[in-house]
Amino acid sequence: MSVILPSVAEELLREIKRSYQETSQIPDEFLLGLKFIFGPTALYALDLVDHCSVIHVTSPSGRETFQVTGSSGKIYTCFASCHYCSCPAFSFSVLKKNDSMVCKHILAVYLSQTMGVCQELTVTDEQMCDILFSVDE
């Protein structure tokens, strides 16, 4: 996983992965760490993970992206490799105001990858192009 986060957040995700592989649970101290680092975004992201809202989409050409179904039912496209989400909260809170490190969709992607609970979907290269070209719609 190539996450673009401060080292403390990356270390926390590594610890969550190690613990989750052993127990299939996230210990309370790690949940508190998520809340401390990511604020209320952590709770919303965990809710998305609990609802299996994250899909890892790949194509034969090797392209990959993530689609996250938000709490409103809208699907957002996320690129973990470059730390981007198509949701309005990412544009406003992360990019414009700079008061959040990530939106809930990006954090849900990182957590789903960490926990190994991403749904997997393989699409054709043409379908991947449609997904990529519809990012800002």
Please state, for a pLDDT cut of 90, what percent of the chain lies above it: 77
Residue 83 predicted with pLDDT over 70: yes
Residue 21, classed as helix, strand or coil, is helix
Average pLDDT of the segment spanning 36-65: 96
Q: How confident is the model at residue 95 (pLDDT cuts 50, 70, 90)?
A: confident
Of residues 13 and 2, more confidence is placed in 13
Name the E strands within the chain.
54-58, 64-69, 75-79, 84-85, 119-122
C-alpha count within 13 angstroms, C-beta hemisphere, residue 104: 20
Residue 118 predicted with pLDDT over 70: yes
Average pLDDT of the segment spanning 3-30: 90
What pLDDT is stored for residue 1 in this prediction?
Answer: 45
Q: How far apart are CA 125 and CA 60, in angstroms?
A: 6
Return the biggest CA–CA distance within the chain.
44
- When the pLDDT of each residue in the chain is averaged and rounded to a whole number, the result is 91
Q: Give phi and psi for 6, each to the nearest 5.
A: -55, 150
Q: How far apart are CA 55 and CA 108, in angstroms?
A: 10
Residue 103 predicted with pLDDT over 80: yes
